[in-house]
Amino acid sequence: MTIEVGSNEWHDKVLASKTPVIVDFWASWCPWCMKLMPVFEEVSKTYEGKLYFAKVDVEKYPDIAKANGVMGIPVMKMFCGGRNVGEIVGYMNKEKLVHELDKMLSTVRECLTQSSVLTKETATK
């Protein structure tokens, strides 16, 4: 299951999450984004409990896209402990996406054991 995240939820749903989060930055006018959408949704079911899946519409929330260095879409960024720990650029099929996510999750384990979650206070320092 994927969740739509906006400016009001960004900190709590992504940065403060104790579970890694993969965020799909997309827009309705982007054909590759629209092609990726059902793949992203389907793959989210495979990782239930291990990885949260979130979506950010860059048209509605350009502030989030800008703050995270989004230069083109579709792009998916993985966050662990409030930090961006990986990126996948462009459309890919289910098998390729699963492969890339598995690769990212293998490096995230270290992040989860060695990092504390960013709070609003520490994020602004």
pLDDT in tens, 21-37: 999 999 999 999 999 99
Closest CA to 82 of 125, 114, 110, 123: 123
DSSP codes, 1-15: -EEE--TTTHIIIII
Residue 123 tokens read as 């994020």
Rounded to two decimals, the pTM is 0.87
The catalytic residue among 30, 43, 73, 92 is 30
Which is more confident, 57 or 49? 57
Tell me, which fold does domain 2-120 have in CATH? Glutaredoxin (3.40.30)
What the block records as the tokens of 120 is: 């609003």
Tell me the pLDDT of the chain averaged across its residues: 89
Respond yes or no: is residue 30 known to be catalytic.
Answer: yes
- Given this model, what pLDDT does residue 43 score? 97
Encode pLDDT of 91-115 as tens digits. Answer: 999 999 999 999 999 887 667 665 5
* CA–CA separation, 55 and 71 (whole Å): 16
33 catalytic? Reply is yes
Per-domain boundaries in the chain? 2-120
Given the residues 5, 14, 33, 36, the one annotated as active site: 33
